[in-house]
């Protein structure tokens, strides 16, 4: 976005004052005493407080509301549902300034990227407004009888949607839009760290015409209490979760009690393969997006760089050069291209992973530390000086970490096995394409993979052998509302977006008819 608005303290205060701060159930915000801090990761201080709902009690009220209107919502025509979702799409764009600023404040991403998420998140509302009028179904003659086979898609019923903090708007719309398009009612559980964007989305959906009770939102620090209460209730018929694989395993076990339909978008450990035929400039451009977009805090972020030895020196030097240009600072600051990590625990994990790699022999080419406050005040760029700076801290207690490139990373380093979820690019040099593919597949995860190469045969062969739900070739961002998003192995079950996304909220009924 070329011309970003100037953000003032009065603008922030005004937005926070009018943003809802309590759970949304049966068409209204419940109110109450706000006691749960929503932190600004750029300062470590509270932006505001929201009402911390009693998860079992408010969750049941939300499920009651969803169940009460499920039959009526399912009975609305697809065109009615479509038009409501399209109005919500338009309203998101009308409220883009508010949505983008809230996301930057509570999550930390640069403001320009937050505007990009408004566009991306709103597109799910438009895409599924179009899918609502194209629900699957068919009619055909039975092969061996004078009878007909009719299949009809029906909404699965009330759903629990659990979203993460890293994409506060689009993770909500990616689940809510297909659920509503299919005729399902919803209880949304947004992440405790980033509830404000979801609450503003509730306001937008109500204004768009979503009837009371069709979409509900429970804000609570007790995620386990909410999920266990609702998933033990036989009236709930589906759960959709985006988050870590360990939590996903727990939810799948709980879902088995009532055989709930489940969609799981779980952890990632995305490999980025730079093949012998790669164009280095194209590969570096893709790598910068694939690694550092959204502060590196994305399940699709490139986590491990396997570079063919014939290009390793050139690729590594260019990636380090481009990484050093990134500007570290608060997301609302002009020129910022790398914001803070979400919280202290995330920052400490990144530090531990880098320290482990260095202890095992890796070298820090760029970054590798928390930036000094002075560099943040000046806009902050990643430092090429890897000397110790343990006495430096982030401005005002914010959770900043310099964009980092590591080389000579051994295969045994934890960064090869664990999801970094931060701005660290570990480079592993390999001599053989088969070895690169084997290394890419040597993980329990299989969500996203990146391949850089110019030889079509080489690229298609490698892409076909990588165990991943998604593969991006020579590009750093593959997510698209019109494409199926999801992983294999322990990265999840089901798909979001595209035509497949709405089927996750449908059941097929087969009817046998005489002709």
pLDDT 10s digits, 34-84: 999 999 999 999 999 999 999 999 999 999 999 999 999 999 999 999 999
Q: Are residues 103 and 245 in the same domain?
A: yes
- Is there a domain that residue 19 lies in? no
Same-domain check for residues 66 and 178 = yes
Between 90 and 378, where is the model more confident?
90
| CATH number for position 222 | 3.40.605.10
Residue 15 lies in a domain: no
Given this model, what pLDDT does residue 2 score? 59
In a domain, 92, yes or no: yes
- The answer, yes or no, to whether residue 381 has pLDDT greater than 60, is no
- Spatial neighbors of 260 by CB under 8 A, at least 6 apart, are 231, 236, 237, 238, 239
Sign of CA dihedral 439, 443, 446, 447: negative
pLDDT value at position 372?
Answer: 86
Of 123, 131, 265, 504, the active-site residue reads 265
pLDDT surpasses 90 at 208: yes
Question: Are 433 and 309 members of one domain?
Answer: yes
347 with 233, same domain: the answer is no
Q: Is the dihedral of CA 290, 294, 296, 298 positive or negative?
A: negative
For residue 338, the 8-state DSSP code is: B
Q: Are 216 and 25 in contact (CB under 8 A)?
A: yes
Which residues span the domain enclosing 471?
Answer: 270-486
Q: What is the pLDDT of residue 394?
A: 41
Helix (H/G/I), strand (E/B), else coil: 258: coil
CA distances to 21, 151, 192 from 202, rounded to whole Å, are 11, 34, 16
Residue 141 lies in a domain: no
Predicted local confidence at residue 358, as pLDDT: 98
- CB crowding 329-358: b at 16 or more within 10 Å, else e: bbbbbeebbbbbbbeeebbebbbebbeebb
Question: In the predicted model, is pLDDT for residue 366 greater than 50?
Answer: yes
For residues 6-22, b (16+ Cβ closer than 10 Å) or e, as one string?
ebeeeebeebbeebbbb
Percent of the chain with pLDDT over 90: 94
CB contact at 8 A, 491 and 267: yes
pLDDT tens digits for range 7-46: 999 999 999 999 999 999 999 999 999 999 999 999 999 9
Q: Is 166 inside a domain boundary?
A: yes
Distance of alpha carbon 285 from alpha carbon 280, whole angstroms: 9
Average pLDDT score over residue span 371-391:
53
Together in a domain, 424 and 278: yes
**pLDDT band per the 50, 70, 90 thresholds, residue 388:** very low
> 368's torsion region: left (phi>0), alpha (psi -120 to 50) or beta?
left
Considering the domain architecture, whether residues 258 and 369 belong to the same structural domain is answered as: no
Whether the predicted pLDDT of 384 surpasses 50 = no
The residue count of the chain comes to 515
What predicted TM-score, i.e. pTM, was given to this entire model? 0.94
Question: Is the pLDDT reported for residue 117 higher than 50?
Answer: yes
3-state class of 233 per DSSP? Answer: coil
Task: Name the domain count of the chain.
Answer: 2
Neighbour-count burial for 40-50, b at 16+ CB within 10 Å, e otherwise: bbbbbeebbeb
Beta-carbon contacts of residue 365 (< 8 Å; ≥ 6 apart): 316, 320, 384, 386, 405, 406, 407
Q: Is-contact 219 99, C-beta < 8 A? A: no
My answer on whether 319 and 249 are in the same domain is no
The DSSP secondary-structure symbol of 296 reads: G
Measured on CA atoms in the order 176, 177, 178, 184, is the torsion positive or negative? positive
134 close to 153: Cβ distance less than 8 angstroms: no
Q: Are residues 469 and 406 in the same domain?
A: yes
Report how far residue 123's alpha carbon sits from residue 177's, in angstroms, rounded to the nearest whole number.
10
Check whether residue 245 and residue 299 sit in a common domain.
Answer: no
Which helix (H) or strand (E) segment holds residue 264: the answer is strand 261-265
CATH number, residue 472: 3.40.309.10
Say if 360 falls within a structural domain.
yes
Are 62 and 158 in a shared domain? Answer: yes
Question: Both 279 and 196 in a single domain?
Answer: no
Residue 390 pLDDT > 60: no
Q: Is residue 30 part of a domain?
A: no
Give residue 396's pLDDT: 57
pLDDT value for 374: 67
The predicted model gives 157-166 an average pLDDT of 98
**Helix 9-18 with 96-107: angle, nearest 10 deg:** 100
Same domain, 435 and 467: yes
User: Is 142 inside any structural domain?
Assistant: no
CA-angle at 24, arms to 18 and 27, nearest 5°: 100
Is 113 catalytic? The answer is no
pLDDT at 503: 97
Backbone angles phi, psi at 431, to 5 degrees: -100, -10
- pLDDT tens across 423-478, in order? 999 999 999 999 999 999 999 999 999 999 999 999 999 999 999 999 999 999 99
Whole-angstrom distance, CA of residue 132 vs CA of residue 501: 11
Compute the half-sphere exposure of residue 486: CA atoms within 13 Å on the CB side of its CA.
22
Nearest partner of 38 among 115, 114, 113, 102, judged by Cα:
102
């Amino acid at each position: 976005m070329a011309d970003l608005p100037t953000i003032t303290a009065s603008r922030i205060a005004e937005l926070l004052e009018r943003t809802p701060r309590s759970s949304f159930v049966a068409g209204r915000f419940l109110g109450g005493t706000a006691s749960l801090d929503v932190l600004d990761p750029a300062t470590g201080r509270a932006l505001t407080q929201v009402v911390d709902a009693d998860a079992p009690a408010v969750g049941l009220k939300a499920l009651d509301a969803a169940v009460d209107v499920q039959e009526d919502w399912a009975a609305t025509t697809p065109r009615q549902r479509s038009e409501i979702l399209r109005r919500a799409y338009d309203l998101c764009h009308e409220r883009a300034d508010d949505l983008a600023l809230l996301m930057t404040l509570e999550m930390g991403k640069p403001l320009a990227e937050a505007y990009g998420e408004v566009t991306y998140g709103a597109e799910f509302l438009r895409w599924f407004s179009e899918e609502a009028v194209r629900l699957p179904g068919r009619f055909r003659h039975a092969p061996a009888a004078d009878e007909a086979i009719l299949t009809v898609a029906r909404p699965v019923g009330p759903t629990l949607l659990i979203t993460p903090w890293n994409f506060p708007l689009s993770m909500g719309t990616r689940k809510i839009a297909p659920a509503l398009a299919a005729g399902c009612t919803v209880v949304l559980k947004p992440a405790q760290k980033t509830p404000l964007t979801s609450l503003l989305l509730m306001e937008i959906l109500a204004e768009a015409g979503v009837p009371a009770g069709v979409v509900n939102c429970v804000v609570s620090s007790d995620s386990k209490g909410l999920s266990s209460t609702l998933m033990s209730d036989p009236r709930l018929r589906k759960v959709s979760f985006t988050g870590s694989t360990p939590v996903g395993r727990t939810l799948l076990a709980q879902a088995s009690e009532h055989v709930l339909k489940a969609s799981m978008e779980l952890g990632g450990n995305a490999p980025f393969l730079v093949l012998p035929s790669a164009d280095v400039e194209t590969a570096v451009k893709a790598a910068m997006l694939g690694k550092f977009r959204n502060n590196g805090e994305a399940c699709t972020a490139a986590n491990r760089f396997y570079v063919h030895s014939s290009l390793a020196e050139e690729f590594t030097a260019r990636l380090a050069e481009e990484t050093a240009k990134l500007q570290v600072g608060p997301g609302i600051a002009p020129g910022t291209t790398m914001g803070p990590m979400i919280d202290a625990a995330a920052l400490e994990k990144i530090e531990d992973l880098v320290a482990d790699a260095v202890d095992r022999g890796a070298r820090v080419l760029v970054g590798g530390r928390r930036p000094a406050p002075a560099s943040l005040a000046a806009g902050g760029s990643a430092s090429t000086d890897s000397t110790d700076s343990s006495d430096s801290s982030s401005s005002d207690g914010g959770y900043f970490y310099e964009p980092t490139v590591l080389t000579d990373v051994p295969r045994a380093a934890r960064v090869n096995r664990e999801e970094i979820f931060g701005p660290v690019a570990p480079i592993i040099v390999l001599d053989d394409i088969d070895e690169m593919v084997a290394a890419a597949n040597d993980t329990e995860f299989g969500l996203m993979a990146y391949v850089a190469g110019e030889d079509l045969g080489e690229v298609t062969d490698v892409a076909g052998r990588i165990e991943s739900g998604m593969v991006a070739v020579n590009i750093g961002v593959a997510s698209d509302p019109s494409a199926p998003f999801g992983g294999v192995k322990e990265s999840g079950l089901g798909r979001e977006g595209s035509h497949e996304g709405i089927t996750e909220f449908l059941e097929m009924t087969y009817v046998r008819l005489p002709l």
